[in-house]
Chain A
Amino acid sequence: MSLLRRRKVSESKTTQVPDPDEKKPETHKPEKQSKWSCVDSCCWFIGCICVVWWLLLFSYNMMPSSFPQYVTEKITGPMPDPPGVKLKKEGLKAKHPVVFVPGIVTGGLELWEGHQCADGLFRKRLWGGTFGEVYKRSYYSYLYIVASAFPGVEPLCWVDHMSLDNETGLDPSGVRVRPVTGLVAADYFAPGYFVWAVLIANLARIGYEEKTMYMAAYDWRLSFQNTEVRDQTLSRIKSNIELMVATNGGNKAVIIPHSMGVLYFLHFMKWVEAPAPMGGGGGPDWCAKHIKAVMNIGGPFLGVPKAVSGLFSAEARDIAVARAIAPGVLDQDLFRIQTLQHIMKMTRTWDSTMSMIPKGGETIWGDLDWSPEEDYVPNKRKQTTNDTEDESSESITKINHYGRMISFGKDVADADSSKIQRIEFRDAVKGNNIANNTCRDVWTEYHDMGISGVKAVTEYKAYTAGDILDLLQYVAPKMMERGSAHFSYGIADNLDDPKYSHYKYWSNPLETKLPNAPDMEIFSMYGIGIPTERAYVYKQVPSAECYIPFQIDTSAHEDNKNRCLKDGVFTVEGDETVPVLSAGFMSAKAWRGKTRFNPSGIKNYIRECDHAPPSNVLLEGRGTQSGAHVDIMGNFALIEDIMRVAAGAKGEELGGDRVYSDIFKWSEKIELPL
C-alpha cells in the first residue's frame, strides 16, 4: 500500500508540471489544445463519473438516517410499532432462554483449511454472511484468467471446497469447512437479506442478550448424526442448553428451529435421551427438564417435494423458470463451466438434502389417483366472495393428481391411472457407460446409467412418493446408499420395535415417539397463501451426453384458474417451499392428543400466517406480513407469538390454533393409524 501511495505522490508531482501556465495562460494556450486526445477524453470521462459518484455517495452519507423512514411514513402512514417495542410497553421481560436452530442453506460456513486456490480465505465465509470474500475472490480470479489466458484455474475452487467426500459424506482430505458459530452464523444470509436478525433485534428489546440467546449453528451439509461425529455439535447444543437453563434460574429453554432445523431438533431430542455410545446420555427426562416449548417455523416434517427435483435434476422451479425465459443460457458451455452439473455434483455430496425427501410414502402424499390436497383450488380463498360461475364445469372434471410426484409428459400427469402403462424400471439393466472422458470431471452418477437406464426411467411414466425413493435409488445408487444409512422415509408399524432406536429414524416424525415431556408444547408456525411446488412434469433431454438427462418440462402449462400447473410444476398451498401438508400434518393430526407418536400427550398448536405481500417493495423491504419460507422470520405476528412464549406465555394464552388453510380437512383424509 505504501508503495502505491508513493507512486501517487509522484504523479501529483508530475501533474504539477503543466502548472506554470497558471501564471502565463496566454502563451501556453495552443499547446493545451493539442493535448485533448482520445486518452485524455477517456480520463476526463472517468473523472466525471467518479466525481458524480462521490458527490452522490457524499450526499447519501450526509442524509440523516431516519430519512427513508420519514419518507415511508409520509407515503404509507405511520408504521406499526415493531413487536419488540409494543411488547416492552406491555411489560414483557426476558424469561426463558431462547435457542435458534437454523435451517439448511441459511447457516454460514467458513474455511479452516483448504487447497492452494483458497489461500487467504482462512476463516472467511464460504457460505452465507455476505459472500463478499468469495465474490471478490472469484472476481479477481476471473480477471486473472482473462488477463493471462490461463483456462480454468480457479472458478471451480469454491465448488471444490463446498463439496463433501462422496463416499463418506464427511470432509474431503485437505479441506475443512466449518459452521460459523454464534448469532452471526445466520442473522443475515446476504447483506440486507435477514434471516434471524429481525427476531433477534426484537427479542433484545425485551432484554435478551448473548447469554440468553443461543444460535445452534451446525454444518447443514452433513447428515445429522455426522455433525456429532465430526464436530460434536449435538453435545455442544446439549451443554449450552444445560448451561443456559442453569444460569437463568432454572427457566426452561424455548427452542425455535426453522426449516430443516426442525428435523435437526427432532433428531436432537431423540439423541439427547438415548444412552451414551450413540446418544447423548441425558436420560429419559432430559427434554422434560430443559425444554419449555418447541416453536417450529416452516417445518418440513414430512419432507419437501422440492428436494426431489433438486436431487433428480438439480433444478427447482426458479431454475426451470430461468430456463423457460432464456433457453440456452444454462446449458451453454461458457468457460467450460457446466453450471447445473457442478451444482448437482456438489449438492449430491450433501447428505442433509436427503433428509427432506418426502416421508410417509403414498399414505401421506397420495398415490396415482388420490392425494389429500386433490380438491385444492388455487385462488379459492380469494374467490369465495365473488366468483360463483367458475365452480361449474372444469374444476369438477379435472382434479390435480398431486400423488404423481414426477410424471413424464403432461398427458401422463393428467391421464387416468388405468390408462398409464408403466414398465417396471427397478430391475432394468443400465446401459454401457456412454460417457466419454470429457464428462469425467463432473461426477453425477448419470453417466453410469447409460441410454437404456435413462429409457427405463422414462418408461415408468409416473412416480408416487413411494416410487420416488426407488427412482433415486436407481438413478443415484451411491448417494442413496450413503443417505439411507442416516435417514429413513417410512411409517412405523410398531414404534416399540427395537430397530427404531437406531439414529437413522430419529429425524422422521413418523418413525419416532416424542419425548416423555407432558409439560412441553409444540407449535407449528408456517406461512400459507403462496403457490408451492408439489409435483413435477419431466421430459427427457435428447442428447444426454454430458448433461443431466432429465429436465422439468417447462412447456407443460395450463391456463386455468383452477389448475395449478405452471412451467411443468404443480403447485399447492404452502409457503413457497414447504407445502401445508408437510408443515402442518403432524401438529394437526398425528401428534394431536395422545397418539402413538406422542405418547405423553404433548400439546400441539398450529399458528398459520397468511401471506400478504409488502405494499411497497422499495420501502418496506420484504414485508412485515410475509408468509414466505424465509421472509416469515420478519412477520410481526410470528415474532409476537415467539416473544410471548419466550416471556412465559402458554399456547392457550396465545389463542390456541390459528388456521386459515384446509390443513384439518386434508389431515382427515390421510388414513394413518394413530
Chain B
Amino acid sequence: MASILRFRKLCFLEPAKCSSHDEKTKTGENKLYEKTDKIVANNTVPLEQNPKKKKQNRPPKEWRCIDSCCWMIGYLCTTWWLLLFLYHCLPANLPGLQIPEPPGARLRRDGVTALHPVVLVPGIVTGGLELWEGRPCSEGLFRRRLWGGGFAEIFKSSRDHEDNHKKSILLPNEFHNIDGCDYPRTTSSKSSPMCWLEHLSLDNETGLDPPGIRVRAVPGLVAADYFAPGYFVWAILIENLARIGYEGKNMYMAAYDWRLSFQNTEIRDQSLSRLKSKIELMYVTNGYKKVVVVPHSMGVIYFLHFMKWVEAPPPIGGGGGPGWCAKHIKSIMNIGPAFLGVPKAVGNILSAETKDVAFIRAMAPGLLDSEILGLQTLEHVMHVSRTWDSIISLLPKGGESIWGNLDWSPEEDHVCNSSKYHQNLDTKSNQTDGRRDTFQVHEPTKYGRIVSFGKVASELHSSKLTSLGSQKHESLHTATHTVPRAIASCGKPWTEYDEMNRESILQLISEKKAYTGNTLLDLVRSIAPKMMKRAEAHFSHGIADNLDDPKYNHYKYWSNPLETKLPDAPEMEIHCLYGVGIPTERSYVYKLSPPGRCRSIPIQIDSSADGSQTGCLKGGVYFVDGDESVPVLSAGFMCAKGWRGKTRFNPSGISTYVREYKHKSPANLLEGRGLESGAHVDIMGNVALIEDVLRVAAGASGAELGGDTIYSDIMKMSEKINIRL
C-alpha cells in the first residue's frame, strides 16, 4: 500500500511542477487522486514560485508535464501488462514452483472413490447471505450478496472502505486475518454503510427479520466455498472431493442463515426440513449409502441440534423417528468444533471486540475511539451483532465444572510460548533451568476467571478478591462523571448499554471483580437483559443432572452436548478434527472505557494488561492452546471424555475419535495459507485433514484412519474435569 501511495505521489508531483499550464488536467487528476491531495498541497507551495519563467523559456515541442505524466502512466501500464502476460504464459508446472499434488489426486490413484454422500455444514460468518427484499437504499442489490462471496457488490454500493474494512475484521469472531486481503480502495461514498448494517440486523424483539427486509442464506455449494475472493473456506475440500468423483448429486452444502437461532432457521426458512429431505434423497439416490456429515465451527452445534430435531416428534421436531440417524448417517467429521462454546463470544458480546481489536487499540490508541469519520465502528458492530441469536449459542457451556472456577481451571498448567520454551530447554539448558523454576514457583494462570476487571483481579487469590472491590474502586474510574447514559441528545438507544447508566455499571463491576463460567451468564444478563431473554429461549448453557427429565425435550437444549443424549446409533462415528498449536483467547481483562460520548460502550479490554508470570497474558487477553478461535478444551472434550465409551451423554456407545493437526505456518508465500495450517478456518486446506475426510467419505472407518492423533494435553485436561458420565 505504501508503495502505491508513493507512486500516486510521484504521478502527482510532475503536473504540480507546471500546474499553471494544465489547470484542466489538474482538476481531472484531482478527482482521481483525492487521497493524495494533502501531499500535493504540501509540495505545491514551494514550487509555485517559478512557473512564469518556465513558461517563457519553454520551446514548443518540449516535454510538457502532462506528457510526462501520460508517459509515466503508459510506461507503468505497459510493463504491468507485460508482466501480467508473462505471468499467464508461465507454464503451470514450472520446475521449482512445483505445487505439491493435491490429496484428492493422490488418493484417487490409490483407488479411493466416492462412496458415501457428503453433507457440508458451514459455520457462523462463513456462509453467504443475499438480499431478497430491502429498503429503498438497497435498490439494485436484489439477490446480491450482502455477506460473503465477493463482498464486491457491497463495496460497489457502500463505498466507504474504512468502515467496511474494519467491520470485516471485527464482526466475525473467528475471522480476523481477512484484513490480509486487498479490498478495492475507493473514497467516494455513494450510499451509506449504515444501509448495509441495517439490512444485516435482525429484529430486536423476535430475532427474526425486521419488517420490510428479507435477507436469506445463499443456497448451494457457492454459499461458503469462498468467503472473500481468494479466501477459501470449503473450496479446497470440495475440489479434492470432486477429484475422487464427488459432484452435485452426492455433495450438499447445508446453508442456513447463521444469524438466526437454530430453531428459527426451521421456523422461518424450513432449513432443517430441507436438510432432512436432502439427506434422505441422497441416501436413496446413491444406492442406500449413509451420509458423511462434515460440519465446521458453529455448524457442529447446528448439526447436533439437527440430530435431536430430526428424531423428535412433529410439532417441534422433524418426525424422523428414533432410528433416523442410525439409518442415514455414517459418521460426523466435526472440524474445529465449538462444542462447549468459545470465550471469544464473550468478548464479542460484552464489548464487540476480540483480540485483534484490542491489539489495534494498544498500538494506535484513539484510532478506534476517534470520531474522525463520524462513525462509531464498535458501537455499530455491537448494535448489529447483538441482534444475532446465534452468537449466544457460542457462549461457554458447562459453567465452572468445565471452564474452571475462581481458583482452578483444567488448563491451569498450560505454558505459553511453548515452542520457544522447549527450544530454550534444548539449547541452553542451564540458563532455562532457572527460568523454569520461576515458572513453577508462580501460581498457575487463573483461566477460570473468564472476565476480570483489572489485571490485579485476574491474578489475586479468590479469598482476597472481595476486599479488592472497595479498594480498587477509585482507580478504576479515573474520571467519575456519573452521567445518565441515555442523554436526550444521543437519540434512540442502539445497544442496551445506552439504557443503563454508568452508575449501575460501576456498581456491577465493583460488586464482583471476576466472573467465571457460571457467573458470566449473570453478567451478560444484567448487561443485556433483552438480548439474553430473547436468546435464552433458544439456547441453554448448563449441565444436565438427569438427562431423562422431560424438560430436556425442549429444543433449547438440543445444541448443548452437555444437556442432550446422542442419538441411538451405535454404528455411527463421531470425529473431532481440530488444529492445535496456536494461542487462543481464553479469558479477558476488562477496564472501564473513558466516559463522555454518546452511545459509547462502557467497558473495553484492558490492552495495557500484559505479561503474566507464565506469559499467557497479552494485550488484556489470556491465551491457551487451540486453533486461534476454539480452545482445545471446547473442541476436544466431548470426543475425549464426554462421549468416550458408553456414557450418559452417549448411551449407545457411538465411537469417537480425536484427530488433532499441529499448526505449521506456511513455509513460503506460494503455499498461500498453508497446507498444514491448524488455524480455525485455514485448517480446511490442511492436507492431512482433507485426506481423513476423503478416506471416510470413501468408506473408511475411524479405526482404519488410525484412531486418535493427539498433540495437546486434552486427555490430561479432560481428566481434571469432574463431571458425572
Number of B positions contacting A (CB below 8 A): 72
* Shortest Cβ gap from A294 to chain B (Å): 23
Decide yes or no: A43 and B28 within 8 Å by CB, A200-B143, A235-B281 being known contacts: no
Asked if A235 and B285 make an inter-chain contact with CB atoms under 8 angstroms apart, the answer reads: yes
Which one, B50, B61, B216, contacts A36 given CB within 8 A? B61
Asked if A47 and B70 make an inter-chain contact with CB atoms under 8 angstroms apart, the answer reads: yes
Residue interface bits A46-70, CB-to-B below 8 A is 1, else 0: 1110110011001001101110000
How far is it, in angstroms, between the C-alpha of A26 and the C-alpha of B79 when the chains are bound? Answer: 30
* Shortest Cβ gap from B161 to chain A (Å): 14
Q: A45: nearest residue on chain B (CB-CB)?
A: B74
Which one, B3, B54, B74, B270, contacts A46 given CB within 8 A? B74
Asked if A210 and B239 make an inter-chain contact with CB atoms under 8 angstroms apart, the answer reads: no
Asked if B249 and A236 make an inter-chain contact with CB atoms under 8 angstroms apart, the answer reads: yes
Any chain B CB within 8 A of the CB of A390? no
* Shortest Cβ gap from A233 to chain B (Å): 8
Any chain B CB within 8 A of the CB of A559? no
Residue interface bits B43-68, CB-to-A below 8 A is 1, else 0: 00001001000100101011100010
Any chain B CB within 8 A of the CB of A9? yes
Asked if A47 and B242 make an inter-chain contact with CB atoms under 8 angstroms apart, the answer reads: no
Asked if B143 and A55 make an inter-chain contact with CB atoms under 8 angstroms apart, the answer reads: no
Any chain B CB within 8 A of the CB of A594? no
Which one, B132, B225, B248, contacts A231 given CB within 8 A? B248
Q: Tell me the residues in window 1-58 of chain B with beta carbons closer than 8 Å to chain A beta carbons.
A: 3-4, 6-7, 10, 13, 17, 28, 31-32, 47, 50, 54, 57
How far is it, in angstroms, between the C-alpha of A183 and the C-alpha of B218 when the chains are bound? Answer: 10
Decide yes or no: A204 and B71 within 8 Å by CB, A236-B281, A239-B281 being known contacts: no
Decide yes or no: A51 and B70 within 8 Å by CB, A144-B89, A201-B142 being known contacts: yes
Asked if A47 and B69 make an inter-chain contact with CB atoms under 8 angstroms apart, the answer reads: yes
Asked if A33 and B59 make an inter-chain contact with CB atoms under 8 angstroms apart, the answer reads: yes
Asked if A243 and B80 make an inter-chain contact with CB atoms under 8 angstroms apart, the answer reads: no
How far is it, in angstroms, between the C-alpha of A345 and the C-alpha of B69 when the chains are bound? Answer: 53
How far is it, in angstroms, between the C-alpha of A144 and the C-alpha of B86 when the chains are bound? Answer: 10
Asked if A123 and B238 make an inter-chain contact with CB atoms under 8 angstroms apart, the answer reads: yes
Any chain B CB within 8 A of the CB of A135? no
How far is it, in angstroms, between the C-alpha of A611 and the C-alpha of B143 when the chains are bound? Answer: 29
How far is it, in angstroms, between the C-alpha of A200 and the C-alpha of B75 when the chains are bound? Answer: 47
Which one, A35, A50, A201, contacts B63 given CB within 8 A? A35
How far is it, in angstroms, between the C-alpha of A8 and the C-alpha of B3 when the chains are bound? Answer: 8
How far is it, in angstroms, between the C-alpha of A120 and the C-alpha of B93 when the chains are bound? Answer: 13
Residue interface bits A229-265, CB-to-B below 8 A is 1, else 0: 0011001100110110011000000000000000000
Asked if A44 and B71 make an inter-chain contact with CB atoms under 8 angstroms apart, the answer reads: yes
Asked if A46 and B281 make an inter-chain contact with CB atoms under 8 angstroms apart, the answer reads: no
CB-CB under 8 A from A437, the residues of chain B are none
Asked if B10 and A15 make an inter-chain contact with CB atoms under 8 angstroms apart, the answer reads: yes
CB-CB under 8 A from B17, the residues of chain A are 22, 25
How far is it, in angstroms, between the C-alpha of A58 and the C-alpha of B187 when the chains are bound? Answer: 12
Any chain A CB within 8 A of the CB of B506? no
* Shortest Cβ gap from B360 to chain A (Å): 23
Any chain A CB within 8 A of the CB of B430? no
Asked if A211 and B63 make an inter-chain contact with CB atoms under 8 angstroms apart, the answer reads: no
Any chain B CB within 8 A of the CB of A75? no
CB-CB under 8 A from B61, the residues of chain A are 33, 36
Which one, B74, B75, B270, contacts A48 given CB within 8 A? B74
Any chain B CB within 8 A of the CB of A2? yes
* Shortest Cβ gap from B135 to chain A (Å): 14
How far is it, in angstroms, between the C-alpha of A42 and the C-alpha of B242 when the chains are bound? Answer: 48
Asked if B84 and A123 make an inter-chain contact with CB atoms under 8 angstroms apart, the answer reads: no
Asked if B88 and A140 make an inter-chain contact with CB atoms under 8 angstroms apart, the answer reads: yes
Asked if A48 and B70 make an inter-chain contact with CB atoms under 8 angstroms apart, the answer reads: yes
Asked if A247 and B77 make an inter-chain contact with CB atoms under 8 angstroms apart, the answer reads: no
Q: Tell me the residues in window 69-103 of chain B with beta carbons closer than 8 Å to chain A beta carbons.
A: 69-80, 83-85, 87-89, 92
Q: At the interface with chain B, which of A174-182, A489-497, A503-511, A512-520?
A: A174-182
CB-CB under 8 A from B92, the residues of chain A are 119-120
Any chain A CB within 8 A of the CB of B425? no
Decide yes or no: A211 and B669 within 8 Å by CB, A9-B3, A12-B7, A54-B32 being known contacts: no
* Shortest Cβ gap from A196 to chain B (Å): 11
Asked if B143 and A243 make an inter-chain contact with CB atoms under 8 angstroms apart, the answer reads: no
* Shortest Cβ gap from A78 to chain B (Å): 17
How far is it, in angstroms, between the C-alpha of A176 and the C-alpha of B242 when the chains are bound? Answer: 10
Decide yes or no: A43 and B247 within 8 Å by CB, A55-B28, A243-B277 being known contacts: no
CB-CB under 8 A from A183, the residues of chain B are 143
How far is it, in angstroms, between the C-alpha of A440 and the C-alpha of B701 when the chains are bound? Answer: 50
How far is it, in angstroms, between the C-alpha of A48 and the C-alpha of B70 when the chains are bound? Answer: 5
CB-CB under 8 A from B188, the residues of chain A are 61-62
Asked if B285 and A184 make an inter-chain contact with CB atoms under 8 angstroms apart, the answer reads: no
How far is it, in angstroms, between the C-alpha of A179 and the C-alpha of B7 when the chains are bound? Answer: 46
Asked if B73 and A47 make an inter-chain contact with CB atoms under 8 angstroms apart, the answer reads: yes
Decide yes or no: A231 and B249 within 8 Å by CB, A48-B70, A243-B274 being known contacts: yes
Any chain B CB within 8 A of the CB of A147? yes
Asked if A181 and B74 make an inter-chain contact with CB atoms under 8 angstroms apart, the answer reads: no
Residue interface bits B156-197, CB-to-A below 8 A is 1, else 0: 000000000000000000000000000000001010000000
* Shortest Cβ gap from A248 to chain B (Å): 9
Any chain B CB within 8 A of the CB of A478? no
* Shortest Cβ gap from B258 to chain A (Å): 15
How far is it, in angstroms, between the C-alpha of A231 and the C-alpha of B73 when the chains are bound? Answer: 52
Any chain A CB within 8 A of the CB of B704? no
Q: A234: nearest residue on chain B (CB-CB)?
A: B285
Any chain B CB within 8 A of the CB of A38? no
Q: A176: nearest residue on chain B (CB-CB)?
A: B247
Asked if B79 and A11 make an inter-chain contact with CB atoms under 8 angstroms apart, the answer reads: yes
Residue interface bits B251-284, CB-to-A below 8 A is 1, else 0: 0000000000000000001100110011011001
Q: B188: nearest residue on chain A (CB-CB)?
A: A62
Any chain A CB within 8 A of the CB of B610? no
CB-CB under 8 A from B536, the residues of chain A are none
* Shortest Cβ gap from A512 to chain B (Å): 25
Asked if A16 and B238 make an inter-chain contact with CB atoms under 8 angstroms apart, the answer reads: no
Asked if A47 and B77 make an inter-chain contact with CB atoms under 8 angstroms apart, the answer reads: yes
* Shortest Cβ gap from B209 to chain A (Å): 11
Which one, B32, B59, B285, contacts A236 given CB within 8 A? B285
Which one, A42, A44, A178, contacts B247 given CB within 8 A? A178
CB-CB under 8 A from A32, the residues of chain B are 62-63
Any chain A CB within 8 A of the CB of B140? yes
Any chain B CB within 8 A of the CB of A470? no
Any chain B CB within 8 A of the CB of A664? no
CB-CB under 8 A from B327, the residues of chain A are none
Any chain A CB within 8 A of the CB of B493? no
Asked if B222 and A184 make an inter-chain contact with CB atoms under 8 angstroms apart, the answer reads: yes
Asked if B270 and A36 make an inter-chain contact with CB atoms under 8 angstroms apart, the answer reads: no
Decide yes or no: A112 and B10 within 8 Å by CB, A47-B71, A51-B70 being known contacts: no
Asked if A123 and B221 make an inter-chain contact with CB atoms under 8 angstroms apart, the answer reads: yes
* Shortest Cβ gap from B672 to chain A (Å): 11
Report B's interface with A, CB cutoff 8 A.
3-4, 6-7, 10, 13, 17, 28, 31-32, 47, 50, 54, 57, 59, 61-63, 67, 69-80, 83-85, 87-89, 92, 132-133, 139-140, 142-143, 188, 190, 214, 216-217, 219-222, 225, 238-239, 242-243, 247-249, 269-270, 273-274, 277-278, 280-281, 284-285, 669
Q: List 18 A-B contacts (CB under 8 A).
A: A4-B80, A4-B83, A5-B4, A12-B3, A12-B10, A19-B13, A22-B13, A36-B61, A42-B74, A50-B77, A51-B69, A55-B32, A65-B139, A143-B88, A204-B132, A210-B219, A235-B281, A247-B270
Report A's interface with B, CB cutoff 8 A.
2, 4-5, 7-9, 11-12, 15-16, 19, 22, 25-26, 29, 32-33, 35-36, 40, 42-48, 50-51, 54-55, 58, 61-62, 64-66, 112-113, 119-120, 122-123, 140, 143-144, 147-148, 176, 178-179, 181-184, 187, 200-201, 204-205, 209-211, 231-232, 235-236, 239-240, 242-243, 246-247
Given contacts A5-B3, A8-B76, A42-B74, 12 further A-B contacts (CB under 8 A): A4-B80, A9-B6, A11-B76, A12-B7, A22-B47, A40-B71, A44-B70, A45-B74, A65-B140, A120-B92, A122-B242, A247-B273
Q: Can you list the 5 inter-chain pairs with the closest CB atoms, starting with the nearest?
A: A47-B74, A47-B70, A46-B74, A43-B74, A47-B73
